[in-house]
Amino acid sequence: MSRFRAQAGVSRYKDGRKGFSQEGPMRLTDFDALSFDCYGTLIDWEAGLAAVLVPWARSRGLGPSGEELLAAYSAHEARAEAEHPAEPYPGILARSLRGLGRELGAEVSDEDAARLGRSVPDWPAFADSPQALADLAGRYQLIILSNVDRESFAASSRRLGVGFSSVITAQDVGSYKPSPRNFDALLAETGRLGVPPGRLLHVAQSLFHDHVPAKQAGLPTVWINRRHDRPGWGATPEPPAPARPDWEFASMRAFADAAAAAAASA
């Protein structure tokens, strides 16, 4: 993924509201609110997916590794979300597994599909997410922009242990990221919350789902590069265009520490 490295803290960006724009160096103290992707950034969705996909594959006599299954699965989920934007996420998961089964020539029973569809509440938080969010909450409003449904997120929210100023799900918007509709909804919500134009920073792992469309919406971004020590794209498709985040960190802990250091030196 090295061809999409960030140029930390140096950018020109234009908020989609009111024609706001800014040029030159940015600082983490320039923002009042952080919007987060949840799955892949705060919740370990690859571990959650693999916990279902690998046993299913082994039960069907399939040999691909967990990483290979995630990579194959990624295209099916992206297609399902694009073709069925109003379908709640458990249905997307079930539909995606059926697509993967057809690709691999393996049976997917109704119970297999339902098992993946109801698995989101079991997906673990990354170990650093709860405390990092708690630390960031002392400096910023926290907002979720997630490709799930309300019920699934409620279970994940309990794992994260912090309050969010707002939660925007695909179910609320009627589409899935990377649709620009989701970022339009985010900008509208931050306006409702009183966040001034240019004071929102989007934080995410997926270049495909988040960084490319966020940049198109005029938002500065932080890349939480959870796969920094692994090759490939994992459960997310390769981005369709170069993504240029403004900061890159290997973990939420590193990001929260950088935000604290920036505040201390301001």
Same domain, 215 and 95: no
For the residues 71-92, what does the mean pLDDT come to?
Answer: 98
We report the CATH number of the domain holding residue 37 as: 3.40.50.1000
Contacts of 200 (CB under 8 A, 6+ apart): 15, 31, 32, 33, 34, 35, 143, 186, 187, 190, 219
Residue where a domain stops, chosen among 122, 144, 159 = 122
| Residue-wise DSSP of the chain | -GGG---TTB--EE-SSTT-EE-SB--GGG-SEEEE--BTTTB-HHHHHHHHHHHHHHHTT----HHHHHHHHHHHHHHHHHH-TTS-HHHHHHHHHHHHHHHHT----HHHHHHHHT-GGGPPBPTTHHHHHHHHTTTSEEEEEESS-HHHHHHHHHHH----SEEEEHHHHTS-TTSHHHHHHHHHHHHHTTPPTT-EEEEES-IIIIIHHHHHTT--EEEE-TTTTS-S-TTSPPPSS----SEEESSHHHHHHHHHHHHHH-
CA distance 222 to 106: 39
Query: Are 142 and 240 in a shared domain?
Result: yes
How high does pLDDT run on average in the chain? 92
| 37 is known as an active-site residue | yes
Cα–Cα distance, 177 to 106 (Å, whole number)? 29
Q: What is the pLDDT of residue 241?
A: 87
Out of 15, 37, 112, 246, the active site residue is 37
Residues 11 and 135 in one domain: yes
pLDDT band at 215 (very low <50, low <70, confident <90, very high): very high
Chain-centre distance of CA 25, in angstroms?
Answer: 25
Distances (CA, A) of 128 to 214, 224, 255, 258: 24, 12, 10, 14
Residues 171 and 236 in one domain: yes
Check whether residue 101 and residue 223 sit in a common domain.
no
Question: Which domain-ending residue is among 66, 87, 122?
Answer: 122
Residues 15 and 91 in one domain: no
Angle (CA) 223 228 248, round 5°: 25
160: tokens are 């994260």
Residue 19 pLDDT > 70: no
Of 122, 154, 172, which residue sits at a domain end?
122
CA–CA gap between residue 144 and residue 162 (Å, rounded) = 11
Q: Look up the domain containing 97 and give its range.
A: 45-122
Specify which residues 157 forms β-bridges with.
Answer: none
Residue-wise pLDDT tens digits, 54-68: 999 999 999 999 999
Whether residue 210 sits in one domain with residue 157? yes
- pTM for the complete prediction? 0.91
Residues 21 and 11 in one domain: yes
Q: Does 251 share its domain with 174?
A: yes
111-161: pLDDT as tens digits:
999 999 999 999 999 999 999 999 999 999 999 999 999 999 999 999 999
Collect all residues with Cβ–Cβ distance below 8 Å to 240 and sequence separation of at least 6. Answer: 208, 212
Over residues 95-109, the pLDDT tens digits come to 999 999 999 999 999
Q: What is the CATH number of the domain that holds 80?
A: 1.10.150.750
Structure-block tokens of residue 66: 């967990």
Q: Are 37 and 50 in the same domain?
A: no
Residues 16-42: what's their mean pLDDT? 79
Is the pLDDT at 219 greater than 50, yes or no? yes
- Amino acid letter for position 129: S
Task: Identify which of 261, 177, 175, 189 has the alpha carbon closest to the alpha carbon of residue 33.
Answer: 189
